Each structure stands twice: as structure tokens, then as C-alpha cells.
Amino acid sequence: NNPNTTARDVNQLISTDQALAAKVLKLVNSAYYGLSNKVASITQAVVILGKVRAAFLSALEAARNRSIELAGG
């Protein structure tokens, strides 16, 4: 929630996790956004989603993964 966080920072965070990167790309390419061209880069996806939403999705996925680890799964 740092106002100094840039789209590049969020891009670097998402890019470290292939599963998360795939989910972000799947989301941004969904019918919800109705884009005429397929988004193939995390950088472009972050710009479209907005850095706050992309960072939130990253944190949510990390928390979900951590919860699965703690549950032994």
C-alpha cells in the first residue's frame, strides 16, 4: 500500500511467480476487460489492471498459497 510503488515494482513481483503471472494474464485477457488484442506481457497487464489491483491480486494469491502450505497441502 506504498504510494511510491510503481507498475514496474508490481511487474517484478508478479514475474517471480509463474502461476501468478499466468493468472494475471488470464484475468486481463478475460471477457470482463473486452480487449481487442491479447495481452502477452505482465507489464502491459499491470498497466491495464492498474498497479493497485495487480498488487492486491498478488497479495491475495500469496496469502492463499501460504494458507495451503499451513494446512499441509
Q: List pLDDT tens digits, range 24-55.
A: 899 889 998 888 999 999 988 888 888 767 77
Residue 10 in grid coordinates = 508490481
Mean pLDDT, rounded, for 60-64: 76
Average pLDDT, the chain: 82
- The model carries a pTM of 0.69
Instruction: Look at 1 and 10; give whichever has higher pLDDT.
Output: 10
For residue 39, the model assigns a pLDDT of 94
73 pLDDT more than 80 = no
Cβ(29)–Cβ(35) below 8 Å: yes
**Residue 12 grid coordinates:** 517484478
With residue 70 as reference, give the H or E element that holds it. Answer: helix 51-70
